[in-house]
Every structure is written in C-alpha cells, then in structure tokens.
Chain A
Amino acid sequence: MSRFFSASLRKSVADVTRRKGRTLLVTLGIFIGVFGLTVINFTEDTLISAFAFTRGAQATQPDFQMTVDRLDPALLPTLRGVANVKTAQYVSLLSVCWQTGGAECHVGIDLVSYPDLQQANTFQLTAGRYPGPGEIVMEQGDRSLHSFAIGDSVTLASGGRSTEAKVVGLARTSGVNPAATGDARAYMSDAGLQQVDDALGDPMEPRPDGQQTPALQHHIQVTFAEAGGQAASTAATALQQALRTHNVTVLDSGYAPKAPASTLDTIGGVFVLLRTLALLAVALSALLILNTITTLVTEQTAIIGAMKAIGATRGAVMRGYLLSVAIYSVLATPPAIAVGLYAGNLLASALAPQIPLELGPFAVAPWVVALSLAVGLGVPALAALFPLWNGTRVTVREALSAYGVDAGQGRRAAPRLGQRLTWISQTTWLGLRGLFRKRWRAALSLTTLSLAAACFLVVQTATASVNNTIGAVRAPLAADMTVNFRDPAYFSRIQAQLQALPNVAGVERYGGDNATTRWGTLQVSGYEPETQLYHYQLTSGRWMQPGETNVVLLSDAALAKASLGLGDTITLTNNYGASNELTLTIIGTVKQSIDVLGWIGAAVLPVDTLYRLKGVSGDNASQASGAQIIIGAQDRSQGAVNQLAAQVSAVVNPAGASSDDPGYYSGANGTVDTIHEYVTRRQADAYLLYYLLYALALVVGMVGALGLANALVTSVLERRREIGLLRAMGASGRRVAQVFWVESLSLGALSWLAGALLGLPLAYAFVQTFAWTVMPVDFSLEPLAFAASFAAILIIATVASLAPAWRASRLRIATALRYE
C-alpha cells in the first residue's frame, strides 16, 4: 500500500479485507436495514407526491360537459358569467389511429386541444415544451403502448389517410392510464388539431342513431361553485340557453362522472406498519453490528494487548476499529440506497394502480437519501461503540494470557445439575453450559432471535387475520353467485328463466357499491328486506322492514369509527354525478367484514335505497328490475355451483360469454361471478401486502441468524483451548461441532419461547392497529403459526451454527492449545 497511508489505517482496512466472510455478513446486515428503510420512505414519498398531483387535478375535473357544433371564443366570458359557474373552458377532441407499424391500426389515440394549453390545468407538462402546429405532446404513459422519444414523429391515420406530427413534449394527466386502457392520449394546439383534421379529410364517425357526425368534437367543460342539487341544474340550464341564444347548437350534455376520489387511507395505514417493521430491521442491523464487533474484538484480543503493550491508548485502539466499521458502512450504504430506490420505484408502481394514482417521472426526494445515509453511516458506528468500549477495556496482561477456560467462575448450580443429569452426553452438556457463559452476550443473542421469532409470528397472524377476514366477507351470504346486468331492466325479462334453472334455490335483487361519509368510505350492500339468501347476524338493533327506505345497518367497526349510535343518522354520498346523497337512520348493526384496504366498514341498505344512492332512477329502480342479483344453489358443492354459473351465463348472455376462470363469465348483457371465485380473487389482491410483510419478516430472520452466527463464532474463539482439549482427548470433529450446534439449538429454542410469549401480545396489537388504520379485520390466531415459527427458528439456528461449528471442528490441537 501507499506510503501515504498510516499503519493504523492499513490495519483497519486489512481487518475488513482479510475476513471476507465476516465483511460480507456485516455489510449485508447494514445493507438490509438501509435498503428496507429506503424502499419504504421512497415509495411513500412517491405516492404522496402522486396523490398531491391527483388531488390538485381532481379539483379541476368538470362537473358538467356540453358537446357543441362550434366553439365561439367570444362566448366564453358570457358562459363564465352564469351564476354558480366557477370555471368554463373549451376543449376539442379527435379520436384517430396512431399508426405504430403495419397496415392495420392497433392503437387508438385521443388528440386533445385547448385554446390555451398552458391555462388548461388538466395535465402537467413533464418534459419538453407545449406544441405548435404540426407538433404534439404525448402522454408519458403512451410509451407503454409504443416506444418513442421527444423529437420523433408519430403517424396519425384515419380512413386511409395519414399525417405526421413531431413529438415536442411529454405530459402527465391524472386518471389517464394508457397501459390499462390500451388507448393513447396526446395534446395539440387548436391550430395543430385542425391541421390534422384537415389532413385526414375531416373524418366522420357514426352516432348511436346511425347518423354520421364529424369525428372532431368540441366540448365546453364547466365546474360549478356548488356542484350538487338544484343550483347545478339551474346553472346547466342557463348555460345551454346562453349557447342557443348565440346560435351554438348543443349536441349533447350531461354531468361528467367523477373518478373515485383517490385516498391514501388505502395505504397510509399499511405504511405506518411497514415503517415500523423497517425500523425494526434497522434496529436488528444495529444489534448485528454489535455482535460482529464483539466477535472482531474477541478475535483480536491478543493483538489489542500487543498494541497496548507498544503504546496504544484505549482511544487509539477504538479509533482503529471504528474506522473498520466506517468501511463496512461505506461498502453497504450506497448500494443499499441505490437498490432501495429501484425497488421502491417498483413497489410504488405496483401499489399506484390499486389506489388509483398516476405516478409522475422518477424523482428522489433529498430527505430520503439523506436519512438513509445517516442511518447507514451513523447506526453502525453507534452500535459499535459499546462492544468497542467493553472489548478494549482488557488489560495487556489479560489480553496476552487468555487461557480460554474460565477457571473458577462457573455457576455452582450447573456442576450440581450436571452430576444428576448424567444421561445427557457430556458434549451436549458442554453445549448447554456454553449458553450463558457471557450473560450479556447471551441476552443480546436471545433478544435478536426472539424478535425474529416474534416478528414471524406477528406477520403470520396478520396475514391469517386479513385472509380470513376477506374470506368471511361473503360468509353471511347463502347465495353462491352474483350477476351484474348492464341494463337493469333486462333482469325482469329473464327472471322466470333463471328461477326455472335446475339447482336454483333462490334469486334475489341485490346491490353492491361504496359510499363516502365524513369518516371514510363504506362498502355498501343492498338486500331485499325479506331476504332468504343473506343470513344477517344482528349485533344490535333490528333488521329492515318491507317498505322501509331511509334506513341503514352498519358494521360494528363502522359504527365505532363514526362514534354514532342506534337512531342517529348518517349521510352517504355516492361518487357519480349530482344528487346522489342520502341521509339514513341507523336501525341496527350487523357482523359484516369488508375486503378493501383503507375503508372503514360495511353498510347494509334496502336494495331499492341502494339503487337510489347509485342514481338508478325511474323504472330501472322498480321491483321488477335489478342491476345486480344473487342466486343461491340447492347443491352448493363447487362443481355444481360452477355448472349452475355456466347455465346462468347461457341465459344472461345467449350470444355467448368469455370465461377466464371456471366461476366467472362476462358477456354483452352481464357478468356472472361465483362467490368462491370472488373470494379467491379478493384474497389474491392482498398477496402484495402478504409478500411485503413476509419479506420484512425474512429480513428480520436473516439479521437474527447473522447475529446468532456471530455469537457462535465468538464462542468458538473464546473456547478454542477447550476445543483443543476435547480433540486431544479423542473427540472427533463431529463431536466438537455438536457442542456448538447444541448451543445454537438451545438458544434457538429459548428464543422461540420468548418470541412466542412476546409475539402473541405483539401480534394482537399489530392486528388491532391494522384494523384501526388500514381495514377492519378480526384477530385470527392459527396454532400452526407457533409450530411454523418454531421450525423456522430451528432452521435459522442450524444454519447459523454451520460455519462456526465447522470452524471449531477444523481447529488444530496445537494451535488451540498454544498460549503465552
């Protein structure tokens, strides 16, 4: 090495490079802790940023839209001046083909223009610039359909004609997801859009009534100051009147359906819990450092003594080892941050659609990196201080005359017990007695492993609770399938046919949706008051009477969350259009779980009331109609139910239906979905959560295993003369290895016991916290979880003992017995 580096620095570096196995273990431990923290923080920051963007964009979503034959710029101030109109803007839309290759058109593209793109505030320009004539800004999600870059040209086609536009920018629009819809979206200036329309020969498209209409559509989008009720209707009427007065023909109008309000409640609670587990992983990484430095110091006791003999102070010795720790940190932290950011991006991309959110361009918040750096560099140094302080306390005499056999300080009880338990082999007894040679180190190993065992139990219990809760959502249903009709009136035409099918026990109208309240979102179901297919379990109050309309039953969790009681009223709001808000009286509570993350509970309504909430009006809400129905089977075996589902689908969709799974059919008139199929899908939706929890449990388990391995290595070092004696007396390598394997298993068994005692209340607290912050779940403990965690701990203990036991078995007698 260069003469510019001091001998002390070179020793610190050599301590790292010489023991590659240990360096790998330690850097892995630090890597795991920093990686987990980075993933969680980056993902949450990314989703919160996307949420902020979405919230901002949702504020500008139109409440009302009119399709007109032309846009008159001079009219805009008049329209904006109508009472209750908050904003009004013009927008033009042309749907054509984006020719990505070949003769056939596979990708549709919506070209959108505004008179002033910069004022449009419905999309965000993320790269490049706003377009002029002949230019286009593509939605960044369009790249999932076909790759392109700024500067490329895209070919737009319709009716055998084509034209090109140059890509000058990228945009991001809330609620637009080309990957999911398969349709691209792009923005152009008014002049540019008109240019495309002219180049394609003013394409036409068919209307529902069979007439041809220009494909280039002009819309006026309006937001109201007061979006619901009479004020909105009055304003809408006034707007249309104003347009007609100025000879603008209103071709169509309607209230624009708002996208469901995204809520971070869905995952906010999950992140609280995941961050807790990530911090636990960091804490365990610190324990690992503590263990490793203890091992390192023990291994170098003689060297420490020699250094002190030639003039090193305690501080000088500590500084050398702290430098080694710093090297471990520097090796581990930057890769952990880099991989953590990558994995965080993947996780955010996987979670975003479930909320739903549109993610922006990849961006790293400085605080995420700074925190991970601080943890990666700071925590190991802090964790190393105690073992260094303790280990460098050794005097020169003690360091150079360590015999490895702790004479005269044994526990008196142990020898007495050993004399009675002579049926235990001495090598086994040696392993057991090795457990508490160093109390504090044993306590450290026990703590680390117990936490790992407890964590495993917590994760298993949480996943079982969530899985069982989701599985129980449809438990009160005596029905075996649901049918959703595209036209509610269709049900009345085929009701008799359905009831005549063999194996049908009952057919009832039903409704399922969600509704928002002041306290959160409820999963809403609607049933006939005299239902035979919903076996409600009342926990208080009463069931609905025939003819009752403005009543509701809540789940116990929802009632508790809203702090309401029987007889109180609650206002439910549906997400579609205006006037879909109902105030209902709470008449009872039912035992009803939900299967959606982030919602607060369930509500059960009379089915007609639910249809009113959904905005199904007039004849479609009559007794003869049904947007959804439930069907119960006489033979409820899965095979018989699947067969019935096929028959029901044949009745509902006589022209045929597609089916990807045995219990699910989708056709032109409706979908048929068995309860079993539905529950399986919902449980599968939660797998991402399970994977996250188990991944963190695995991390914690690995750190526990590494800590135990370190403790055993230290034990081997300290007992090398004991090992030499055993070998000199005839013990095989295998018998020597057995000593440490027994020590490891014993530690593991004790840890499991402590972990089970600790894990049970922790699991309960975790599930209760999950239920309060993420989704109501019922605590569900499976006895197999204990057995599984015991098996896991034994495996960890065995794996952790492999290297130290092998090392002990290979120790040469001469080396082991040598001493000053």
Chain B
Amino acid sequence: MIPTPQEHALALDSLVSPIVQVERLTRVIATRAQRTVILDDLTFTVPAQSLFAINGPSGSGKSTVLNLLTGIDCPTSGKVIFAGKELRGRSENALARWRGRNVGVVFQFFQLIPTLTALENTLLALELGGGGGLSRSQWRARALDCLNTVGLAEYTRRLPSELSGGQQQRVAIARALANDPPVLVADEPTGNLDSTTAHQVFDTLAGLIERGKTVIYVTHDRELAARASARIELLDGRIVGEHGASAVVRAERDGGVS
C-alpha cells in the first residue's frame, strides 16, 4: 500500500519522536514439557499520535506484544521504552500505578465491573489512576465528558448487563480515556462485535488520534489493520512486515529487506 502524503509525514515525524520504542524484544515460555518462543527478537517503534496496528494470524504473538508494551507481561529479554522511560525492573504495584496514569487499556471482552454503572466504571479508573491531574470534585464531570466523547451520554446509569456489546466496549474506551493517558492500547477491540458495531467502535477509537492520543491496537482483521497509519505484521512471533514503524523485519536480519 502506498502511504498518503499525510501518512508519510507522520511516519517521518515518528522517526524523530516515537512514543514507544521496542528493542530486541523476546518472550519465551518454558514449562516442564517444552520451551516455547512466543516473540523472537522484535524491534520497532510506535509513532506518537498514530493509529498503530499489530496485525497477524492467531498465535502470532500479537496480544503478547501488547501485554509487554503495557507492563502486563515481562519480556524474557529486550527493552520497552515508553515515552522515554524503560519499563523493566518495576514492581507490579509500580507498573499498575504507571498504567493508570500513562496507558488506557481496552480489552476484547470489555472487562467492565459488572456491579458498577457506566459512570461508576469510568469513575473507578479515575480513583485508581490518580485522577488525571484533576481534583476529586472534578472527577464526575471528567467521567461524564469521557462518556459523552464515546457517545454514551444518555447511558451513564446503566449497568453493563443493560448495555449492548458495542455500548459496553465504548464504556471501556471511556474508562481508558478517564485519566487522559497519552496512549490507548486495545486488544482485539472489535473481536467480540458484529461488523456494523465493530466499525462504529473502531471509528470511535480512530477519532481519538485527533485528540492527540496514540492508539495501539491488535487485530487479525486485515481490513482494520489497513486503516492504521503505522503497523507491524507478525507471524510466528516475528515481524514479517511493517509500515511506518521503523521495524526490523525478520527478512532483514536474515539478509534481505522487505
């Protein structure tokens, strides 16, 4: 695919100021039975204010990459540098606090607290994530604003069980926005939705770029991956293709450039 001039400009910008840098990232899972290499020596960058896709078939390691970027998982070797700071060596609690302030996470199966309303789920993120720099008295307004951003201003008092799948995912997006993090990560955000709803939700995510966010998402859907301004393609734990990510493609390491 030939990048548009806009995309090319963004790509050039990212080369100058990536928000995430990954260097020689490897993840190996060893059990008594066997040793499995989930990710094999990945190197790439995520440009700031980009819609960044991690694409690949099932079992290619996409979700693992996302987990490593957000500190949910720890690499066996390699580095993840997030906004100029390396994630390695932090405790679980420190990572949790860091995530609350710097990363908004959106899961495939929403993972909303079932006993809290849409508004309360969003408020919970503010309580746990430090409040986004706001005073406590401003949290409610912030949460309502986030829900309004995702088009759910009229559903603030609904429990997750009273919302459709698409609405639940949009609540999850509002929750992820609550602390105004610079980066949102979404693991198969539309994987559990019908195609129409999926496009609506994805449009919501994509629209966040204009608010200065960087959105990193995992998808096995090539069509959704094509909408990204930068992306990498994984296969069997290796990068086999990239666009605008300054990634080291496996073929390069083997001697060729793709």
Contacts and interface: CB of A to CB of B under 8 A. Distances in A.
B110 to A, nearest CB: 9
Contact of A305 (B101, B111, B176): B111
A395 B124 contact: no
Nearest to B188: A820
A7 to B, nearest CB: 4
Nearest to B72: A396
A246 interface: no
B116 interface: yes
Interface string A304-328: 0111111111111000000000000
Interface string B114-148: 11100011011101111000000000100000000
Interface string A1-35: 00100111011001100100000000000000000
A160 interface: no
A369 to B, nearest CB: 34
Interface string A783-812: 000000000000000000000000000000
Interface stretch (B12-20, B40-48, B92-100, B247-255): B92-100
Contacts of A316: 128
A310 B121 CA distance: 11
B32 interface: yes
B159 to A, nearest CB: 10
A308 B124 contact: no
B155 interface: no
B109 A310 contact: no
Given A309-B70, A408-B33, A7 B111 contact: no
Contacts of A308: 92, 96
Contacts of B197: none
A315 B97 CA distance: 11
A84 to B, nearest CB: 81
Contact of B120 (A7, A314, A395, A400): A7
A106 interface: no
Contact of A314 (B93, B114, B129): B93
Q: Is the interface of A mostly helix, strand, loop or mixed?
A: helix
A312 B125 CA distance: 8
A313 B100 CA distance: 10
A303 B111 contact: yes
Nearest to A17: B115
Most buried by B among A3, A18, A307, A396: A396
Nearest to B126: A7
Contacts of A14: 115-116
Contacts of A303: 111, 113-114
B93 A408 contact: no
A518 B140 CA distance: 77
B31 to A, nearest CB: 5
B116 A11 contact: yes
A11 B115 contact: yes
A437 interface: no
B202 interface: no
Interface residues of B, number: 38
B115 A18 contact: yes
Nearest to A316: B128
A720 B70 CA distance: 29
B93 A6 contact: no
A320 to B, nearest CB: 10
A302 interface: yes
Contacts of B175: 310
B72 A306 contact: no
B179 interface: yes
A312 B115 contact: no
Nearest to A307: B128
Interface string A550-593: 00000000000000000000000000000000000000000000
Contact of B96 (A311, A397, A818): A311
B93 A397 contact: no
A313 B97 contact: yes
Given A11-B113, A400-B111, A408-B32, A312 B72 contact: no
Contacts of A306: 107, 111-113
B105 A314 contact: no
Contacts of A6: 123, 127
Contacts of A307: 113, 124, 128
A302 B128 CA distance: 17
Interface in B41-94: 67, 70, 72-73, 92-93
A303 B107 CA distance: 12
15 contacts: A6-B123, A11-B124, A14-B116, A15-B115, A18-B115, A303-B114, A311-B100, A312-B96, A312-B128, A313-B96, A314-B96, A315-B93, A395-B92, A400-B107, A818-B109
Interface of B: 31-33, 67, 70, 72-73, 92-93, 96-97, 99-101, 104-105, 107-109, 111-116, 120-121, 123-125, 127-130, 140, 175-176, 179
Given A303-B111, A307-B113, A312-B100, 10 more contacts: A7-B120, A14-B115, A309-B105, A309-B111, A311-B179, A313-B96, A396-B67, A397-B67, A408-B31, A408-B33
Closest 8 CB pairs of A and B: A311-B100, A14-B115, A311-B129, A306-B111, A7-B124, A311-B128, A313-B93, A396-B72
